[in-house]
Amino acid sequence: MRILDSRRPKDFAKVLGLLTRRPAPEAKVRSAVERILRDVERGGDAALVRIHNRFSKKKISKATLRVKAKFRGPSATVRAALAAAEANIADFAKATRPQDWARRNRQGASVGENFPALGRVGVYVPGGTAPLVSTALMTVVLARVAGVKEIVACTPGPLNPVLGWALQKAGATEIYQVGGAQAVAAMAYGTETIRPVEKICGPGSAWVVEAKRQLFGRVGIDLLPGPSEIAVVADESARADWVAADLVAQAEHGPGSQIFLLTPSFLFLGKVLAEVLNQSGEKPRAEYLRGVLRQGATLVRTKNLQQAVELAEAVAPEHLSLQCRGAKALAKKIRCAGAVFIGNFSAVALGDYLSGPSHTLPTGGAGRAFAGLRVEDFVKRVSVVEYGAASVRKSAKTAGLLARLERLDAHADSVETRLR
């Protein structure tokens, strides 16, 4: 755990450097993933099964790769909770799905955009340390609302029955119990059993993220969401136990997770630290929590709230929680974060499960330029242009002049011939 002080200018520069230092993908991970991708591309199902069985205690065969069984529903209480989450996710996706549009340009031509759904997408759902039912909903439901006809889900086996039921209920049309870089390779290249997809979405381990990085261009990739992150900007108007609970909740994801507290109050920092240590010892995943507290926890005393926000934006965290005075006004100024949670009552875990926006968010500083997973990631943006005789007459002179300026006479001729 690091406890830092950024109040003095020279200390601020040092802290800024520490918070924005991003480790490059490990060379051994890069090379290992490269080999896995090559093996699956060349070897298909046989390579996929062999690689899976090398890394997993639960062995599979080509015959058991695809999950064909229909899962029995969980208890009525669990079904109701999943239904409530799914409803909010679907409502948010429907409200934000881009709609076709058209208008006239200044020469009278019709210009616009259509947004057809992708035909076949792959969704990766992590399952190594916990059955992430919420991730199933926050990826597959978006694809379904977008109108994707074929939704392929890959998740490490053995498949948890509740996760399997949630995937089927959300709209997955194919489920395969295989994980890791090899699953990403199978969805990208295709095998005898798994047909290739057009785009791969969803979070995962460093190996999954590296596989997506290397396959970018061969197949569409949403973003590279890795281990969980949270930054909390807080002052003494917040409750230390609530702030600590948010930090511990994200640390619970385990290896690679990063948690940050940025506060101008040294007294409040101490209270949160005590609460984090107290709360983390009580949890079932205490071993994961201890690892994150040792290697991924940073608490910073800042000069003021403005500096705390500046450091938070430099981190560009997956989750940014504003538990301070004037949080709503501050939120409007935030540019670099995956998702912003306003006020003391907005527990980040509500966004993980129930709020509506997908919890698949940019990590590793990518929040400076990337947004989280949206329904828009499952559609194509296609420009549509339609000219008539009158609009061509009004456009030909200008288009011809620009084409000849670039010494592309055939371009000019292709327009001007329509005037003859």
pLDDT digits (tens, 9 = 90+) for 262-294: 999 999 999 999 999 999 887 778 888 888 999
Beta bridge partners of 11: none
**9 falls within a domain:** no
pLDDT digits (tens, 9 = 90+) for 71-95: 988 999 999 999 999 999 999 999 9
Are residue 139 and residue 215 in the same domain, yes or no? Answer: yes
22 CB-contact burial (10 Å; exposed 0-12 / middle 13-18 / buried 19+):
exposed
Last residue of a domain, one of 195, 223, 251: 223
CA angle 26, 29, 30 (to 5 degrees): 85
As given in the structure block, the two tokens for residue 164 are: 């399997």
What's the full length of the chain, in residues?
420
Tell me which residue range forms the domain holding 62. 27-223
Please compute, for residue 57, the number of CA atoms within 13 A of its CA located in the half-sphere on the CB side: 3
- Cα four-point dihedral sign 314, 316, 319, 322: positive
Q: What's the structural domain count of the chain?
A: 3
CATH number for position 354: 3.40.50.1980
Residues 217 and 114 in one domain: yes
Q: What is the mean predicted confidence (pLDDT) over 257-263?
A: 96
- pLDDT over threshold 80, residue 129: no
Are 333 and 247 contained in the same domain? yes
Query: Is 295 found in the same domain as 198?
Result: no
In this structure, are 179 and 254 located in the same domain? no
Global confidence as pTM:
0.92
- Would you tell me the crossing angle of helices 286-295 and 266-280 to the nearest 10 degrees? 150
pLDDT beyond 70 at 389: yes
* 22 within a domain of the structure (yes/no): no
Percent of the chain with pLDDT over 70: 99
Supply the pLDDT for residue 205: 87
Catalytic positions: 318-319
Give the residue from 168, 202, 223 where a domain finishes: 223
- pLDDT, position 128: 62
Arithmetic mean of pLDDT, 101-130:
94
**Does a structural domain hold residue 379?**
no
Domain closes at, from 223, 251, 282 = 223
Asked if residue 232 and residue 206 are part of one domain, the reply reads: no
Tell me: pLDDT of 52 over 70: yes
